[in-house]
C-alpha cells in the first residue's frame, strides 16, 4: 500500500504546520471568489467566441478547464456589437490577451436564405423598423439598415471564420497586442481545423 512506503517526492506537512496548507486553500478560495475585483485574469487570459450550437464542446475542443477562459456564444459565433463590447472590456480591464473564434460546419446560419430569414422575422412583428434591438436602448433598431446584415447568415464557414477574426483584429476598441485566431470545428469529425485547411476534399486528389 502506498502509505506504507515513504515517498521523497511528496513533502508531507511537518507536525504543527498543517495550518500552512489550510491557509493555501483559504487563499486560493479567496482568489477564486474575488478574482475580478482582485484583478486576477482568467487562467489562460483567453476569450473564446463560439457558435451557440449544441454540438460544439467548446472547452473540450480547446482543452480548457473551468477558470481558463471566458466564453461568449451566439448564433453563428459572429462578432456582433455585444461581442465587441465584451471583448473590449475583457482585453482592456481583465488582462485578456488572446481571443479565439470557433465556427463550425453545418452551422444553422447556412441553413436558409437571407430572404427566408428576413421574411420570417418581419412576419413576427408589426413593423421591424420599430423593434428595439436592445431593450435597454429602444432607439437602437434596424431602421433604414438591412435586417439581413444584422442577422448575418453565412455562405461559406471558412470565409466567415476569417472575417470574424479580421473584425476583431481591426477593431479600435481591442488593443493591437491581443492575438486573435479562428478555427472551424467539424461536427462530422469532432476536430478543429484552421479555416481554409479542410483535409477531406484534398486527400483523394493528386498533389
Binding site for Zn ion (CB under 5 A): 51, 53, 107
Rank residues 53 and 162 by Cβ distance to Zn ion and give the closer one.
53
What the block records as the C-alpha cell of 145 is 439598415
What does residue 47 show for φ and ψ, rounded to 5 degrees? -115, 130
- How would you class 14 by CB atoms within 10 Å of its CB: exposed for 0-12, middle for 13-18, buried for 19 or more? exposed
Smallest gap from residue 108 Cβ to Zn ion (A) = 5
What is the number of alpha carbons within 13 Å of residue 43 lying toward its C-beta? 9
Residue closer to Zn ion by CB (options 99, 161) is 161
91 Cβ contact list (under 8 Å, min separation 6): 47, 97, 99, 174, 175, 178
Closest CB 50 distance from Zn ion, rounded Å: 9
CB of 50 or CB of 64, closer to Zn ion = 50
CB closer to Zn ion out of 42 and 76: 76
- Minimal distance, residue 56 CB to Zn ion, in Å: 8
In the complex, least distance from residue 76 CB atom to Zn ion, rounded to whole angstroms: 5
Q: Which is nearer to Zn ion, 99 or 178 (CB)?
A: 99
The string of DSSP letters for 140-152 reads EE-TTS-HHHHH-
CB of 174 to Zn ion, least distance (A): 23
Instruction: Concatenate the DSSP letters of all residues of 23-76 into one string.
Output: HHHHHHHHHHHTTTTTT---TT-EEEEEE--TT--HHHHHT--TTSEEEEEETT
Amino acid at each position: 500500500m502506498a502509505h506504507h512506503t515513504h515517498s521523497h517526492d511528496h513533502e508531507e506537512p511537518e507536525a504543527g504546520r498543517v495550518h500552512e496548507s489550510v491557509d493555501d486553500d483559504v487563499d486560493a478560495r479567496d482568489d477564486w471568489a474575488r478574482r475580478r475585483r482582485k484583478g486576477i485574469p482568467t487562467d489562460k487570459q483567453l476569450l473564446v467566441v463560439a457558435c451557440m450550437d449544441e454540438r460544439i464542446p467548446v472547452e473540450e475542443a480547446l482543452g480548457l478547464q473551468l477558470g481558463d477562459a471566458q466564453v461568449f456564444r451566439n448564433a453563428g459565433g459572429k462578432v456582433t456589437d455585444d461581442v465587441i463590447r465584451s471583448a473590449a472590456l475583457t482585453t482592456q480591464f481583465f488582462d485578456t490577451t488572446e481571443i479565439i473564434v470557433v465556427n463550425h460546419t453545418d452551422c444553422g446560419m447556412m441553413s436558409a436564405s437571407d430572404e427566408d430569414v428576413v421574411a420570417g422575422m418581419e412576419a413576427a412583428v408589426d413593423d421591424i423598423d420599430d423593434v428595439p434591438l436592445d431593450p435597454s436602448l429602444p432607439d437602437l433598431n434596424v431602421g433604414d439598415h438591412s435586417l439581413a446584415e444584422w442577422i448575418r447568415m453565412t455562405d461559406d464557414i471558412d470565409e466567415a471564420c476569417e472575417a470574424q477574426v479580421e473584425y476583431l483584429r481591426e477593431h479600435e476598441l481591442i488593443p493591437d497586442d491581443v492575438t486573435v485566431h479562428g478555427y472551424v470545428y467539424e461536427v462530422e469529425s469532432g476536430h478543429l481545423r484552421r479555416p481554409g485547411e479542410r483535409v477531406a476534399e484534398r486527400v483523394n486528389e493528386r498533389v
